[in-house]
Amino acid sequence: MAQKPSIPKGTRDFSPTEMSRRNYIFDTIKSVFQNFGYLPIETPAMENLSTLMGKYGEEGDRLLFKILNSGDYLKNVTLGEDAAQGLNKITRSIAEKGLRYDLTVPFARYVAQHRNEITFPFKRYQVQPVWRADRPQKGRYREFFQCDVDVIGSNSLLNEVELIRMIDDIFCELKMGVVIKINNRKILSGIAEVIAVPEKLTDITTAIDKIDKIGLDKVYEELRSKGLTDETIQMLEPIINLGGDNQKKLNCLREFIGTTADGSQGITELQTVIDLLNGLDIRSEVEIDQSLARGLNYYTGAIIEVKAKKVGIGSVCGGGRYDNLTGVFGLPDVSGVGVSFGADRIYDVLNELDLFPEQVHKCTKVMLVNFGGKEAAFSLNILQQLQRSGIPAELYPDTVKMKKQMKYADQKAIRFVLLIGDEEMKTGVLTLKDMESGEQHKLEMEQLTGLLK
């Protein structure tokens, strides 16, 4: 019996139309990266689980796709015994590899592994799929693409400025309005210090991070549930409700946490970035957002997140500075900063706002109608000449009714159709039909190439 064809939930096929739209996004992003001197790398889809485990928290470990060892994978498992010790013990015995969960950890592994071949500061980009065994839902897939760009081996804040400029260039190029939100992890540390519960920093940032999603009241509720006193929460209020332009926010923050070492450092860093950006032509809105923390705990300096205007879809790009990403792989004290563009969400926004340019779909320029053996053989020569002139062209492969051939051209959005019958073979004057205007032209080969080019 025939199988009903299907694919694993949370994964997708991409049709030619979707591909050309996706490639438009990837090409735009890559060309900006290249314009700023970033170079591409690629890492394998599979990494050793020892590389991946423990890097994304407990939930991340659970969401890793694990690959069954080849051959007799049970040979080292004493089933009864190991089963008693729980699933994790068995998993470690039968699966040594996993699919990458993001591009950051493989990149850190890459840098540590290839440190002697790399010129630092290393400016690299990487556009590859990642896999997460998340529950699939609208806009969340189990296979999706990330476009990462990082500089590693430089502490300079010029890198933060550069990342924001690239974000600006990319979304301008895509004609997509965005707000670029920035914060600094040290400001969050300063806040924690001022409210005298530094050990609660993670709880505080995690709660504040949710403000857009769950609202102020629920954030307070969560903070209370994490053991913060009402007094402490009240102290946090001006920070959470900080308003005005970037300079006003910075001044406010300086007043509140300027006396703490971390806070002061964080404000100086943000001020430097804002000042440098003010001297440049940035077309997107750049906004200090003191509630910006992001889930991952490895950021140590700048935190960046980009939100689409007009479409409520979460962030379309995000990242920050991490001071010790490669330490776990034996290369300590290397600072890096980078952001990741979410191609799938960008796709959804461009789609919803109808922002894909029309000419994004690369297609055949002219189709040669197939009138039968002799004509087809003759047409092959014309076809070869057209293609070698750089004109995408095709000869309909089967000798079927004209109507069917025309329908094919129409569905493939091929604008021109070339008719080569007896008369044309005799005279060498070919008949070109413009499917848009309906006009027919009689042309010699040279004229034809000129017109189609």
Task: List binders of a copy of itself among 363-382 (CB under 8 A).
Answer: 363-364, 367, 370, 376-377, 380-381
For residues 167 and 339, is the Cβ–Cβ distance under 8 A? Answer: yes
Site of tokens 């991946």: 52
100 makes contact with a copy of itself (CB under 8 A): no
* Residue with Cβ nearer a copy of itself (39 or 261): 39
136 makes contact with a copy of itself (CB under 8 A): no
**Subset of 225-264 contacting a copy of itself (CB under 8 A):** none
What residues contact residue 18 under an 8 Å CB cut-off, 6+ apart? none
323 makes contact with a copy of itself (CB under 8 A): no
161 makes contact with a copy of itself (CB under 8 A): yes
* Residue with Cβ nearer a copy of itself (46 or 425): 46
In the list 28, 104, 146, 159, the residue contacting a copy of itself (rule: CB under 8 A) is 159
Site of tokens 């604008």: 415
**Using CA atoms, how far apart are residues 412 and 435, in angstroms rounded to an integer?**
12
Site of tokens 């997460």: 132
**Using CA atoms, how far apart are residues 330 and 401, in angstroms rounded to an integer?**
68
* Residue with Cβ nearer a copy of itself (204 or 304): 304
Closest CA to 434 of 378, 380, 366: 366
Min CB(329)–a copy of itself separation in Å: 4
Helix 16-35 with 158-173: angle, nearest 10 deg? 150
- Window of 7-15, 261-269, 296-304, 435-443 that interacts with a copy of itself by CB under 8 A: 7-15
For residues 313 and 327, is the Cβ–Cβ distance under 8 A? Answer: no
Min CB(392)–a copy of itself separation in Å: 5
What residues contact residue 386 under an 8 Å CB cut-off, 6+ apart? 366, 393, 448, 449, 452
| Burial class (CB within 10 angstroms; exposed 0-12, middle 13-18, buried 19+) of 448 | buried
Q: Specify the long-range contacts of residues 230-233, CB closer than 8 Å, at least 24 apart.
A: 232/195, 232/196, 232/197
* Residue with Cβ nearer a copy of itself (89 or 442): 89
137 makes contact with a copy of itself (CB under 8 A): no
Min CB(363)–a copy of itself separation in Å: 7
Min CB(293)–a copy of itself separation in Å: 25
Min CB(3)–a copy of itself separation in Å: 6
20 makes contact with a copy of itself (CB under 8 A): yes
Q: Specify the long-range contacts of residues 294-300, CB closer than 8 Å, at least 24 apart.
A: 294/209, 294/318, 294/320, 295/206, 295/209, 297/57, 297/202, 298/322, 298/324, 298/325, 299/185, 300/185, 300/186, 300/324, 300/335
* Residue with Cβ nearer a copy of itself (228 or 273): 273
For residues 197 and 232, is the Cβ–Cβ distance under 8 A? Answer: yes
43 makes contact with a copy of itself (CB under 8 A): yes
- Window of 42-50, 206-214, 261-269, 292-300 that interacts with a copy of itself by CB under 8 A: 42-50
Interface size with a copy of itself, residues (CB under 8 A): 111
Q: What are the DSSP calls for 216-264, one per residue?
A: HHHHHHHHHHTT--HHHHHHHHHHHT--S-HHHHHHHHHHHHTTSHHHH
- Window of 108-116, 307-315, 422-430, 442-450 that interacts with a copy of itself by CB under 8 A: 108-116
In the list 109, 181, 294, 345, the residue contacting a copy of itself (rule: CB under 8 A) is 109
**Subset of 401-420 contacting a copy of itself (CB under 8 A):** 408, 411-412, 414
In the list 27, 57, 59, 73, the residue contacting a copy of itself (rule: CB under 8 A) is 73
**Using CA atoms, how far apart are residues 260 and 187, in angstroms rounded to an integer?**
9
Q: Containing H/E element for 27?
A: helix 16-35
131 makes contact with a copy of itself (CB under 8 A): yes
**Using CA atoms, how far apart are residues 419 and 369, in angstroms rounded to an integer?**
6
Min CB(406)–a copy of itself separation in Å: 12
**Subset of 175-234 contacting a copy of itself (CB under 8 A):** none
309 makes contact with a copy of itself (CB under 8 A): no
In the list 29, 41, 293, 304, the residue contacting a copy of itself (rule: CB under 8 A) is 41
Min CB(98)–a copy of itself separation in Å: 9
**Using CA atoms, how far apart are residues 372 and 377, in angstroms rounded to an integer?**
8
In the list 24, 25, 29, 47, the residue contacting a copy of itself (rule: CB under 8 A) is 47
42 makes contact with a copy of itself (CB under 8 A): yes
**Subset of 324-343 contacting a copy of itself (CB under 8 A):** 327-330, 332
**Using CA atoms, how far apart are residues 31 and 135, in angstroms rounded to an integer?**
33
- The whole-angstrom distance between residue 161's C-alpha and the CA centroid of its chain comes to 20
* Residue with Cβ nearer a copy of itself (43 or 264): 43
